[in-house]
Structure 1
Amino acid sequence: MSLLKLVGVLLDYPQDELWQHGDELLDAAADPMLSGERRQQLVDFTRELLALEPLTAQDRWLAMFDRGRAMSLLLFEHIHGESRDRGQAMVDLIEAYRKNGFELSAKELPDYLPLLLEYLDRRPQAEARDWLHHVSHIVGLLAARAGERNSPYAVLFEILVEYADGKLDLGALRQRASEEPRDDTPEMMDRLWEEEAVRFGAEAPGDDCSPPTRSPARPAATRQVQP
């Protein structure tokens, strides 16, 4: 299992099948292309995830990625929000997948980061790095926000930034993340749902990828761990 495939599997909603492939995941986490420190961090993350009960791991994932929008794994959420531009971007991305023989099921959203990583795993390394470089500002901000929330998932985003040779100041992004209002608190979630009931039209995020004010729909969490 390649590094991109592994990170995608670990970022995805933890299906029960994950625990059936524990040894394979740990072997892949010891990737020699990583620095010694990063390799150990990835192995530690994988061991810690596998040590959890599936329901506990799933609850942790939902708390991290399914409350509010700041940590959404749907990349176009951070670029287009619910604007019409997002629809065209989705069509273009699906076309890119199909052009290279990568078909999606009807329920899969093409901008879901674990899915994109599965696709890039099948592409030449230079192409995969270029794709990730173009979204590294989003991935870097996700890394910063995860770090600010003391989430172990932060290391996965940091590895992706480094894989893409992203020249990002993660310290500055972490400072910015510390100043953002949290959108995953019960109070904020209640407010967002109240606003959702009366808002008409679409609201896109700013160019700086600050958290939009509407909560995302959950992507279909049906992918399975495969060698």
Structure 2
Amino acid sequence: MMNKTKEYQETLALIAYLFAYPTEDWWAKLPDCRQASEALDNRQNRQTMLDLLDYIEAMGQKAYEELYVRTFEFSSNTNLYLTMHDRTDFGKQAREMLDFKNMFLANGFDLQKELPDFLPALLELTANIPEGPASEVLAMAKPKLELLRQRFLEAKLAHTFLLDVVLTEADELKGATA
């Protein structure tokens, strides 16, 4: 049985992994991801992860990679960059990007290869910090996550369920202190 902190950290790390680009290494580590998912105490989160893993594996490597690129890289509606979905005000987008960057820096992390609004990077951050700061990160990202979830829902993406887990974790962490 995992403690609460270990459970949310493991859950968010797994979701970050599942949202990452499916490289050869990613595919090779999917069995480890399944094993870690099976170890989650939260039955609903565990089932969500296992269902998505079943979906990915049933789809097969080539088809899943094509879906991933089409959905998360080429679509302006469903890409994984959280400040890109309401790009009507580029000044606002730049401020939000800076806010995300400052959040990484405030928690002792700096991104070299990714933009700070990239969902897998943000989830990886929350998986590696205490509950209080993780709650703050997720609270800041929540409106963007809710918008992205709505877009996923409209696109009928199985990954919608992963965002449901993230939003549930955010609600459960709300009010946590460092």
Q: TM-score, normalised by structure 1?
A: 0.63
Higher share of residues assigned helix: 2
SS in 1 for 2:40: coil
* Contact 1:8–1:118, Cα closer than 8 Å, also in 2: yes
Residues 1:135 and 2:141 aligned together:
yes
Residues 1:162 and 2:168 aligned together:
yes
What are structure 2's unaligned runs of at least 5 residues? 1-8, 173-178
**CA separation of 1:148 and 1:103: change in aligned 2, threshold 3 A:** same
Which residue identity lines up with residue 10 of structure 1 in the other structure?
L
* Contact 1:65–1:72, Cα closer than 8 Å, also in 2: yes
Counterpart selection for 2:17 from 6, 9, 14: 9
Counterpart selection for 2:122 from 116, 136, 145: 116
What are structure 1's unaligned runs of at least 5 residues? 167-227
Deviating 4+ runs (over 6 angstroms): none
Cα RMSD (Å)? 2.3
* Higher Rg of the two aligned structures: 1
* Contact 2:48–2:162, Cα closer than 8 Å, also in 1: no
Q: What are the equivalent positions in structure 2 for 1:22-37 lying under 5 Å apart?
A: 22-34=30-42, 36-37=43-44
Give distance in 1, aligned partners of 2:106 and 2:162. Answer: 28
The CA deviation at 1:13 is 1.8
Q: TM-score, normalised by structure 2?
A: 0.78
1:188 counterpart residue number:
none
Counterpart selection for 2:97 from 90, 100, 108: 90
**CA separation of 1:57 and 1:127: change in aligned 2, threshold 3 A:** same
Deviations 1:13-55 (A, max 9, x none): 2111112112210122235342x34421221111322344333
Give distance in 2, aligned partners of 1:144 and 1:94. Answer: 25
